[in-house]
Amino acid sequence: MTDSQNTEKLQKALANNGVGSRREMERWIQEGRVSVNGQIATLGDRVTLTDQLRVDGHLISRSGEKSACRILMYNKPEGELCSRNDPEGRATVFERLPKIIADRWIAVGRLDINTSGLLLFTNDGELANRLMHPRHEIEREYAVRIFGEVTPHMLRDLQKGVELEDGMAKFTHIHVRPTDDESQNQWFNVTLSEGRNREVRRLWESQGVQVSRLMRVRYGNLDLQKRLPQGAWIELDLEKVNQLRKMVQLPNETETTLNQKDDKLDHTRLSRMRRSVKKHKLNKAGQGRRNATQQARTKK
């Protein structure tokens, strides 16, 4: 490997070729899953365009020309995992995404299995990394239903800061939503500027109350489209792509693969989305039943 001016960090090269986010690539390098020209890589290695990169023994296709930046908005339902596959056969957020030639969809952050709402995917590893990185302080907004009494003192503490097991955390804003006085559940909209694991749930649980529903409704300046069905996706137009790129100091994208009407949710397209989501759920349920039957037969 060389230290010339024409090199870039290994994790960045992998991310830019759509293998995964830069953070994920750093972890894979540390786990010994990446090689450069036949030698196991180490964190800090730099590579050129001519170096041969492999992940888990598989050659990574590289190109000097970068693909046009694409971003999908996905309305994640509860029950789906933010992973590419699951040994237990559970549904994942990647299963219904469109095929992408010579690239790979990268999830911008994660939502846990019991959280629904806005999840972004992109083929641009640098964009994904910057949108997730704490230094850019990208706001995330969640609608959250709380079971238990919430006092003004709790709300002040949650905005002032609470010590969690991985450090101080707080909500930058809390909006109390009107609710039925007789209900034991109350809805809030909360925002924070980082994406630690289960941070919203852990903040509320620190006050002795329980999160009974959690949905992400905004990422940065991008709101979840209200008409987008759960389990469906829509590709963002060039204007919205560049809004997100501007937030993390990346230059504007000039090309798009999107047709002019591809981001419009008219009645026909909504009906098609709902049918597709329903069909996928039925197929997944049928596969689950077949797997359970096969496992039962194996145990006999």
Point out the residues that are catalytic: 112
Q: Cβ(131)–Cβ(248) under 8 Å? A: yes
234 phi and psi, to 5 degrees?
-145, 140
Q: Are 141 and 216 in contact (CB under 8 A)?
A: yes
C-beta separation of 169 from 202 below 8 A: yes
Give the other-Cβ count within 10 Å of 94's Cβ: 17
H or E stretch at 160: helix 152-160
HEC secondary structure over 182-200: CCCEEEEEEEECCCCCCHH
Q: How far apart are CA 57 and CA 45, in angstroms?
A: 18
Task: Please state, in angstroms and rounded to a whole number, the distance separating the CA atoms of residues 254 and 102.
Answer: 19
3-state secondary structure of 222: strand
